Structure 1
Amino acid sequence: MLILSALILAFAQPYIPGENSNEKTGKNAVSIYIDNSFSMHNVGQEGDLIELGKRKTSQILSRYREADQFQLLTNDFKVERQSFVNKADLSDQLSNVEVSPVSRNLDQVLQRQSAIFDNTKAGNKSAFILSDFQKSTTQLNKINSLDSSINYYFLPLKGNQEGNIFIDSAWLTSPILKVNQTNTIQFKVVNESDEAINDFTGKLKLNGRQKGMASFDLEANETKTAEIAFNITETGWNSGKISISDYPITFDDTYNISFPVQETSRILSINGNQPNRFLNAVFKTDPYFNVTNQQTGNINFSAFSRYSLIIVNEINQLSSGLKAELIDFTSKGGNVLLLPPSDTTGTSGNYNSLLGQIGADLLQSTSKRVDDIENLNLDHPFFQNVFEDVPDNVQLPQVNKYYKMTSMAQTRKRNLLKLKNGNNILNLYPYEQGNLFLSAVPFNENWTNLPKHAIFVPVLYKISLYSSNPYNLAYTIGEDQAIPVQKTLISTDEVFKLKKNNFEVIPPQEVKGGKLTMYLSGQIEEAGFYKLVSNQREG
């Protein structure tokens, strides 16, 4: 680590091997990395940094023989540049190098160069790294040991302005986004300079319209979270931009975001007897939720796809048809909340055939032991943005009796509420694209005071809106990320592509259990908004 740090700091002027370099003896293999990230648009004393890097590369080439081997590496890690070529071919590649939104950290570059050298038998191996060595990508503590068989040359390219202010990330503060109501977005701003900035401004545009702004001060080298309140006027997918102004380094002044907005969340409650008054009271207070109550003898299975949540409310006996439809609904991305009946006669066996198929814990006999809920699993994403802080001495709900559950070793259970005696009261089980929530109690005053407790409303809201694969506001170019496509049943013969204006690409994709996952693998090089298009439909 110290040796590498010294190398980078030592070359105030880029060092290039001279005519008498010992690398002249025998055949040479030379890998040259040019950092072509946006920061290389900066201007130094010798002009634009990316052009300076290309000129320095030409100087490096002039020091070697025609018979030597050369390889050019840039941030896109293009496959066609992973092998060695002759000097003339590398000069042709060099002329096509342009600034890219993709960035790589130094450790990634060094590892890639080391792997490339495995493909040569040349006796002399030299790696050149030409970069402005930004703090965000030059993390020395993450660099593995250097290959002792390779001669490393680090060539710093220095711009006139070393400081930079950029937007690091952004997120919405609420899982519920409503039309014509105030919503809030927060974003992290990083000041990588030694100067304090007063009255710095961030702006939000949504669907091309100015929606709000925030003004704040930044201390030298400070990271600050700012927020903007805004109204949404359109349902469906909304596209936005958070922007700042930091001249002359402007490539990271805009952060693109997109998110879906539903007009309403439709909930179906299938009731064994009467509709649950506590459930109706919670959802009735918010017009965003549209609740339909049906009795077990009047279920419209064909309408299940219209709902995001189905509540099975104290049904004594689940029919085989209902079980099959609930499994299908969950597999396609729906959420099911299962509330067992107050009448415990024969319940366990009837419900357990459904629970077993989903891979959930099974219901056992009931316990009439009074106990308090002790634990909220606040570390689980389910509770994200639900409670800012829970005091240590807070009094949580009490149960008077409950169904005991098995603890199956093979389940994907995530416990959400637990009693002091260790028994689970509310569990989450992901199943294919959806989720099953299993309660050990019906929402009935004889069983528990949970429906009258302050945590009941936010927990119920989260159940209705929860996704085990929540969408991201944005994805970062250059990072190898798996991108899931939400709640859409995909056939194995569908092919998807991403389109933006005249550009389109078919990324690597995998369909498993009707769920599509895409892998960008460096195929996107321009920031912006891309539309997902199928050969059978548009998304």
Structure 2
Amino acid sequence: MEFVNPFMLYGFAALLIPVLIHLFNFRRHKLLYFSNISLLKNLQEQTSRTNKLLHLLVLLCRLLVIAALVMAFARPFLPDENRLKPAKRNLVMVYVDNSLSMQARSEKSTLLDEAKLKATEIAASFNKEDKYIILTNDLNPAHERPMSGDEFIAEINKLNLSHFSRKLSQILGRTNTMRHEGYSQKVVFVLSDFQASTADLGKVVSDTASHYFFVPLTAVKSNNVYVDSCWFESPLHHPGELAEMKARIVNDGSEEIKNLTVRLTVQDEQKAIANVDIAPASSAEVSLGFDISEVGPAAGTFEITDYPVIFDDKLYFSFTVDQAIRVLEIYDSEANPWLKTLLEGDDQIAYESKQLKRLDFQGLKAYKLIILSGLETISGGLSQALTDFSRAGGSLVLVPSPAKVDMTVNALLSQYGMELAEKADTARSRVFSLLTEHPVFKGVFEKIPENADLPNVRKHYSIRNLKTADVQQLITMTNGSAFLAEGSNEAGKAYVFASALLPSWSDFYKNNLFVPVIYRLIFLSANEETLYHYLGTDAQVQIRTKAGDNEQVLHIRELNNDFDLIPLQNSYLGETSLTLNEAVEKPGFYKVTQENEPLAFLAMNDNREESRLNTLSRSQLEEQMKKAGIAKASLVERADIDQGRAFENLSSGTQLWKWFVVLSLIFLLIEGLLLRFWRK
């Protein structure tokens, strides 16, 4: 035990006063005469013993009252090894967690309002000479400078919820880099709900020069229901067709949700509505459909109603409706007649065939799928253009030449982990099996009968797996060789047939398998686009620009607002990478324009990490603090937070003076009761 005012202990000398009063009886006695004092003598002896005991008890009470008062004025406390040392100039850093999860309610207000109140209490517990720095999820530079107590409180009262989610290790890492020369010590307060998804205290690199105080704030009810994600059942969107979408709704609470209404809105028009039941701590999927009416970029939302945490009740998404999928066939002397017959005239496919010697390499980026139809050689320029096309998201299909397999062809295929044998195998074979779980065949066949009419193969090139990339045999022949293989790596994706599309090589061109395989390869080339992005998480987004306009500046404009941003952009092969970082600060729809012509919508959403409201318990916080090796750290008690005592004992540990005041009152009460009721 230590004392704030140890000189007050001299007050124990006052204990002599009641002792002296007790030893010297200053009461005057009156002389009375009695003829017979025997009875009086016995009564006097009995009364004397009783009075002596009473006087001793009263004396003891008075001594205890004085001792308790002396202790109270001496301000005793139980020392805390992590307590602050009294200092004239402290640099106080206060992190107010203003993430969206702080929208949850405590008993009296939102957690953010409670955090702001506690921040003002912190300022009241320090001296006027101390300076303050505010840390929030916005990482506002204006807050990260030393300010006076009054300025600190004014800035705290202005704080609002932030749409950015931060890891606690990131916030405390910033405090480590802040210099505190000219200050006696650095004090860091963390006011947060300590969400499990963001409170990574175990990864914090502690600063030995800092004292840390962690103040957990608890919501009354942590239940939350939110729209987690959405997706299309098919990556293809064409006008006049019915599109089917699915959304995942998550119930993060402990109570079952009944008949929750889910609304789908596209282009500001409600398209569908559904009700869903969700068990506690689980999710449910809901499927809704709508008609696609026009070509171009489109935007929509999935929305529910949930209180009090509402930031995640709406999920924004965007997509692009294409008129048709652009497919290019490149040939040496003549286009393949069966491909031409199959694809020409299809409204969903914009098929073109071009002779190699008339090919414009720069125009390849406009297509989704390129078919290399019987090319004997592939020049270095074409190989590089095809590699760039593939890296930009395009798909390649190679049908080998019936004449030979040139080394330039294998040079291209080697990027995808494959190569063809130089000479054809003339041993007859037959298609034996399909990799039915692969996306090429997914949903195409319910079941393949044992006696199915599968293609006969008269000649083929062996497809070798170089094991330098992910290679799969999609169609296998009876001899174990691949008839169709897929190779993919970071450079993209390529499909290779083992036989030329000629009657002398196989009857695949007229088999029932031909149409679904070619169409599935085309449809899969229409890569499923990113429907939405998260604020603060997706630093870059990819936009497909108009052909030949890579040098044009792109703008990001918020719909129905004056917000206009020219982001850092890097164009390559018809794709432009836009660096957003945290320039976009609010969820909603943003239009990407090129020369005032809309290219796409960006759907920005709040980070769903904030939707999971489960928080770390006190024992988990202590465990993480220990794991991080934070030596000078204190975890403020919940009871102290509720009763407004959270920051009373920063410099002196646990205060005891109030208890001694209570004890003095108790002893005074006992003395009064003794004097009043003892004789009765």
- TM-score greater than 0.5 by the shorter chain: yes
Q: 1:287 is matched with which residue?
A: 347
Change (3 A) 1:521 1:326: closer
The residue identity in structure 2 corresponding to 1:110 is S
Change (3 A) 1:139 1:447: farther
Q: 1:50 is matched with which residue?
A: 112
What is the distance in 2 between the residues matched to 1:139 and 1:389? 48
Residue 124 of structure 1: CA displacement? 4.4
C-alpha offsets along residues 233-257 of structure 1, whole Å, 9 cap, x if unaligned?
1211110011111133322111100
The 3-state SS of whatever aligns with 2:122 is: helix
The residue identity in structure 2 corresponding to 1:415 is V
Q: Determine if contact 1:169/1:188 at 8 Å carries over to the other structure.
A: yes
| TM-score (norm: length of structure 2) | 0.62
**Which fold has the larger relative contact order, with Cα–Cα distance below 8 Å and residues 6 or more apart in sequence?**
2
Residue 33 of structure 1: CA displacement? 2.1
Write out aligned runs for 1:259-338 (5 A).
259-271=319-331, 272-273=333-334, 275-277=336-338, 280-281=341-342, 283=343, 287-293=347-353, 307-316=367-376, 334-338=394-398
What is the distance in 1 between the residues matched to 2:127 and 2:150? 11
What is the distance in 2 between the residues matched to 1:498 and 1:295? 39
C-alpha offsets along residues 228-282 of structure 1, whole Å, 9 cap, x if unaligned?
122111211110011111133322111100000112123233455463426744x
Match status 1:365 vs 2:422: yes
More helix by proportion, 1 or 2? 2
Q: 1:417 is matched with which residue?
A: 473
Gaps of 5+ in 2: 1-77, 600-680
Match status 1:117 vs 2:179: no
Larger Rg: 2
Tell me which of 227, 236, 258 is aligned to 1:198.
258
Q: 1:485 is matched with which residue?
A: 543
What is the distance in 1 between the residues matched to 2:119 and 2:418? 63
Change (3 A) 1:486 1:84: farther
The residue identity in structure 2 corresponding to 1:120 is R
Residue 71 of structure 1: CA displacement? 2.7
What is the distance in 2 between the residues matched to 1:449 and 1:79? 70
Q: Determine if contact 1:117/1:125 at 8 Å carries over to the other structure.
A: no
Change (3 A) 1:450 1:65: farther
Question: Alignment length, in residue pairs?
Answer: 507
Match status 1:248 vs 2:248: no
Change (3 A) 1:448 1:36: farther
The 3-state SS of whatever aligns with 2:406 is: helix
Match status 1:76 vs 2:138: yes
What is the distance in 2 between the residues matched to 1:77 and 1:389? 54
The 3-state SS of whatever aligns with 1:258 is: strand
Gaps of 5+ in 1: 1-17
**Aligned-residue RMSD, C-alpha:** 4.4
Change (3 A) 1:386 1:238: farther
What is the distance in 1 between the residues matched to 2:275 and 2:441? 24
What is the distance in 1 between the residues matched to 2:502 and 2:393? 28
Residue 216 of structure 1: CA displacement? 1.6
Change (3 A) 1:496 1:83: farther
What is the distance in 1 between the residues matched to 2:287 and 2:299? 17
Residue 190 of structure 1: CA displacement? 0.8
Q: 2:656 is matched with which residue?
A: none
Change (3 A) 1:167 1:37: same
What is the distance in 2 between the residues matched to 1:143 and 1:452? 63
| TM-score (norm: length of structure 1) | 0.77
Residue 164 of structure 1: CA displacement? 1.3
What is the distance in 2 between the residues matched to 1:248 and 1:496? 38
C-alpha offsets along residues 352-398 of structure 1, whole Å, 9 cap, x if unaligned?
57668x7885544135265867785968xxx3994599999999988
The residue identity in structure 1 corresponding to 2:351 is V
The 3-state SS of whatever aligns with 1:31 is: strand
What is the distance in 2 between the residues matched to 1:97 and 1:417? 58
Residue 60 of structure 1: CA displacement? 1.2
What is the distance in 2 between the residues matched to 1:223 and 1:474? 20
Residue 335 of structure 1: CA displacement? 3.9
Between stretches 454-463 and 494-503, larger displacement belongs to 454-463
Change (3 A) 1:417 1:455: farther
What is the distance in 1 between the residues matched to 2:495 and 2:191? 54
Q: 2:161 is matched with which residue?
A: 99
C-alpha offsets along residues 399-449 of structure 1, whole Å, 9 cap, x if unaligned?
65433457668x7x54243658677943446797x7654444334565457
What is the distance in 1 between the residues matched to 2:203 and 2:583? 27
Between stretches 314-323 and 203-212, larger displacement belongs to 314-323
